[in-house]
Structure 1
């Protein structure tokens, strides 16, 4: 089904829109940073946890080459369907629809585990981190990124969603940026049994489309889309007016600039 809002068409599922809109503006640039930090080597075995539509997974496959193996894991069947469709025919990636808290892999199956902007959505974070450690070889590396704190641009959108659409839908923005604290993430990693834990918070500047474009692209890439679709055109009009008016302060030459914190945890599995 295609929804028409202010002359803009958004066809397909949130997962398809996520790949089409979110990945180019946010997911891809952040993935490049994560892959750079991970320092993947040819021949390594890599697992991408909460892989979504597979932007990190595909970049990992490029780095480890034909001699390596790469798997992507996600609980969302729609995301995995898009991930499969986006995988080049000459790239071999195994996709698994399952929770991060109970992975279908033997012990010590991977050299590296990656998790980009997904840990905050996992209900039992400690169980997921313990599973990441279990499937790593001794000496294996884990790299986890989470965004936050909530930048002003998203705070504006959250308040407008709560006012014009639904407070429950607006709460999604809180969840997205709910896990950025360096000390909290450090403690979680150590409690899961990882050693050589290093957690760093650094700002990332992203170039986003114009206000109205980004508003609807983001909404239609997330679970918020259903609530917005059901709200009625008058409420959607009010949402757009309020958000776009306040987003003008972030706009230069037709594009918006988003400065967001990215917290990255790196650690190793070391048996004592």
Structure 2
């Protein structure tokens, strides 16, 4: 799927990754600029993300992503409309069984990506910001208010995939990893907007019935983007501290 040009998100000219115009009314220009300027993503795009930093990302992201099907199931369980449940079940099926091109679960694909760069699951302790991201996603997806869960997964995860996974793909390619490390991120950059659009249609219908809820959707989306940025910031800073300590040890 070719990503469309976003006329609002000017930083796309520098980053090479951007969102389609569909999302202009739910993400502020300032929030997208802040995400694009995230120190970890900048390092990935500029070729400054070394294997140690990428392994640290993979480990922290695994803590979060291992629960993705649970986030989705929690959200689906609270949907009142059976048609909405069926619509989201296609996403769940793909997560569990893969696509026609690759009949392997996304969880297994991610494990292959980790193994390809020698990132061992749970070999680093979970960061505070990673746990906060997990807790926030569960809180919204388990809420009695299904619109909040939809906003969290749609805006806080699926819709922003090009801006997050795109730079990571660049970084992995720059260190010349095998295709096993790339495939998980490639299929998500190519396909996740389709999942986001399914959720967006449900959100739009709910907002049409209750227009005052638009502000809630935007607020939840921004909250989840900020939790994700906090995780990326913390893992970058923790890797910097490790590198500094190793440098100091060599000169003592």
TM-score, structure 1 length as denominator? 0.32
Greater helix share, 1 or 2?
2
Greater gyration radius: 1
TM-score, structure 2 length as denominator? 0.34
Greater strand share, 1 or 2?
1
